[in-house]
Structure 1
Amino acid sequence: MSKKSAQRKHDLTADSAQKELVKLIQSFSHGHRLHAVFSDFVELSALAISNSVDRAQFETREKRYLDIVGKYKRDEVDRFPQMLGLLVESFEQRVAVLGKQTSDGLPVSGGLTDVLGETYMMLGLGNDRTGQFFTPYSVSRMMSMMVMGDVGAEVARRGFIRVSEPACGAGGMVIAAADSLLAAGTNYQQAMHATCIDIDACCVHMTYVQLSLLHVPATVVHGNALSMEVWGTWYTPAHILGGWTFKLRRRLEADLLREAVAPERQPVAEAAGTHKIDAEATFAAEAETSDVAVLERDLVTAVVERSAGDRMSLADLFEQSLASGTRERTVFDTIDQLTLF
């Protein structure tokens, strides 16, 4: 989408808060480059949100926050919280639309959108030389509706679904996935976790801010999905407060253990005359009434180590690399797990 097309779309679809946000960003144009202002705005917003919940990275990110605001005059610094307030207001207006119903009693669809991504493209800040292009939200939502399908059964069976976006941009595809779940009557805040990766720091900050404001449980990685390099990690408030580090670890261990045990159960079931058996359902049912549910940690770890190499998804690989990194364990990791109980 060209800048002119993005401008026309913005004029037609932007709400009042989004239009005021654009005006405030443009008010910096006399003394600063708009790309630098926008990048600093989303990073400052990301830092402020992160420092309210992720205490393990507080000192480093607080220093970074002070370094950024040091580049601006006092009256300019005061505009940044106003801009964040307008972004929040824009999402609040759109979320309010989701609570309405059509004449047929169905929820209104398409209430959410990629506010920051649309603003970024409308201001002409995309990097054409590197092929940077943000998919229009209408296209993202159409794709998500096609891909998500009927996820109700999956959520009922597994508790939640996982979404992986290796080149997340501003997070539009993940927002569209959340929008699709809402349209299907499923609360994405409880039934979806996203792992988002991008090589561009500004994109990482945009994604983190938008998913945080929409309370999407997510791990947003500043890294390279091809080389598996990681330069920074951002956990949304929904991820930390919802105990998702433990939930994801438990899901991975259960999946790998189930896959390791299921092949051994199949011949036994067939010998007993049971056909078309659902090994996963059998395992889940037995886990509730047997010692499988309380297997010793070393057994689970052994199965994970043996099976992880060729069974992990991209999201799993990033989660494991982050969990087994050099960051020291803090009391907040324990709190993260205790929130489940």
Structure 2
Amino acid sequence: MSRKTAQRKHDLTADSAQKELVKLIQSFSYGHHLHTVFSDFVEMSALAISNSADRAQFEAREKRYLEIAGKYKREEVERFPQMLGLLIESFEQRVGVIRKETAVGLPVSGGLTDVLGETYMMLGLGNDRAGQFFTPYSVSRMMSMMLIGDVGAEVERRGFLRVHEPACGAGGMVIAAADSILAAGHNFQQVMHATCIDIDPCCVHMTYVQLSLLHIPATIVHGNALSMEVWGTWYTPAHILGGWTFKLRRRLEADLLRATVAAEREPEVEQAGTSPAWSEGPVLAETEPSDLTVLEREPLQVATPTSTASRDAMSLADLFEQSLSSGARERTVFDTIDQLTLF
């Protein structure tokens, strides 16, 4: 999408809060480059949100926040919380439309949108030489409606949906997935978890801010999905408060257990030369492992899977989560209690 096209779209579709947000960002143009102002705005917003929930990274991120604020005059610093307030207001207006539609029994028409991504492109901040173009939200939503599938069946079978975005940009595709899940009659805040990856720190911060404001459980990774390098991680408040670290670990362990048992049974099937009764349905459909069975497995089997079946069962998001936890000490119940003292 060119800047002129983004400008025309902004003029037609932006709400009042989004228009005021753009004007406030542009007010810095007399003394600062707009890209620097926008990047600092989303990073400071991300740091403020993270420090309200993620105690483990508080000190380093508070230091970074003060470092960014030191670049601006006092009256300029005061505009940043105003800009965050306008972004929150923009999302509140859109969520308000959805609530009205739901209250009168109308189908949800897709009230959410990628506010920061649209603003970024409208201001002409995209890097054309690096091939950085954000997908228009209407296209993202169309793709999500085509790919999301039967939400109810997946939630019934596995408890929740996982969304993986290896080049997340501003998080528009994940927001579109949440929009589609909501249109299907489910609360995306409860039945979806997203793992988002991007090499650009500004994109990481945009995604983190927007998914946090929508209370979407997510892990946002500043890293390279091709080389599997990781430079930083951001956990949304919904991820921390909802205990999603435990939920994801338990699901991964269950997936690895299914894959391992299935791999062990394959030689028996080949040797017998007959198809067992369970091969006609889902693997372990009648022998689903209990939570107790899963939790009693050694953590090493999850952290360093060696069998082909185990590796095949792990998704890109699982591999990134493995790289994040490798070398770090295991979180204890005392860490969890300490984390919750903020609330």
Query: Contact 2:259 / 2:313 at 8 angstroms: preserved in 1?
Result: no
Q: What does residue 283 of structure 1 align with? A: 287
Q: What does residue 183 of structure 2 align with? A: 183
Q: Normalising by structure 2, report the TM-score.
A: 0.90
Q: What does residue 309 of structure 1 align with? A: 311
Query: Contact 2:55 / 2:339 at 8 angstroms: preserved in 1?
Result: no
* Number of residue pairs the alignment of both structures matches: 335
Q: CA deviation at 1:304?
A: 4.3
Alpha-carbon deviations, 1:285-317, whole Å to 9, x = none? xx34x9745644369559944344343211110
SS at match of 1:110: coil
Alpha-carbon deviations, 1:151-177, whole Å to 9, x = none? 210011100011110000000000000
Corresponding letter in the other structure for 2:185 = G
Q: Sequence identity, in percent?
A: 78
Q: CA deviation at 1:325?
A: 3.8
Q: What does residue 17 of structure 1 align with? A: 17
Aligned pair in 2 of structure 1 residues 107, 152: CA closer, same or farther (>3 Å)? same
Task: Give the whole-Å Cα distance in 2 for the aligned partners of 1:335 and 1:137.
Answer: 39
Q: Normalising by structure 1, report the TM-score.
A: 0.90
Corresponding letter in the other structure for 1:64 = R
Aligned to 1:321, which of 304, 320, 323? Answer: 323
Q: Please list every run of 5 or more consecutive structure 1 residues that lacks an aligned counterpart in the other structure.
A: none
Task: Give the whole-Å Cα distance in 2 for the aligned partners of 1:71 and 1:234.
Answer: 24
SS at match of 1:32: coil
Q: CA deviation at 1:106?
A: 3.4
Q: What does residue 90 of structure 2 align with? A: 90
Query: Contact 2:3 / 2:124 at 8 angstroms: preserved in 1?
Result: yes
Query: Contact 1:262 / 1:283 at 8 angstroms: preserved in 2?
Result: no
Task: Give the whole-Å Cα distance in 1 for the aligned partners of 2:317 and 2:300.
Answer: 23
Q: What does residue 156 of structure 2 align with? A: 156
Q: What does residue 228 of structure 1 align with? A: 228
For 1:3-152, what aligned pairs fall within 5 Å after superposition? 3-101=3-101, 105-152=105-152
Corresponding letter in the other structure for 2:298 = R
Q: CA deviation at 1:338?
A: 9.3
Task: Give the whole-Å Cα distance in 2 for the aligned partners of 1:135 and 1:81.
Answer: 28
SS at match of 1:134: coil
Aligned pair in 2 of structure 1 residues 330, 130: CA closer, same or farther (>3 Å)? farther
Q: Please list every run of 5 or more consecutive structure 2 residues that lacks an aligned counterpart in the other structure.
A: none
Aligned pair in 2 of structure 1 residues 302, 111: CA closer, same or farther (>3 Å)? closer
Query: Contact 1:240 / 1:336 at 8 angstroms: preserved in 2?
Result: no
Aligned pair in 2 of structure 1 residues 24, 260: CA closer, same or farther (>3 Å)? same
Q: CA deviation at 1:108?
A: 2.3
Task: Give the whole-Å Cα distance in 2 for the aligned partners of 1:52 and 1:104.
Answer: 36
Task: Give the whole-Å Cα distance in 2 for the aligned partners of 1:245 and 1:37.
Answer: 33
Task: Give the whole-Å Cα distance in 1 for the aligned partners of 2:258 and 2:282.
Answer: 12
Q: What does residue 297 of structure 1 align with? A: 298
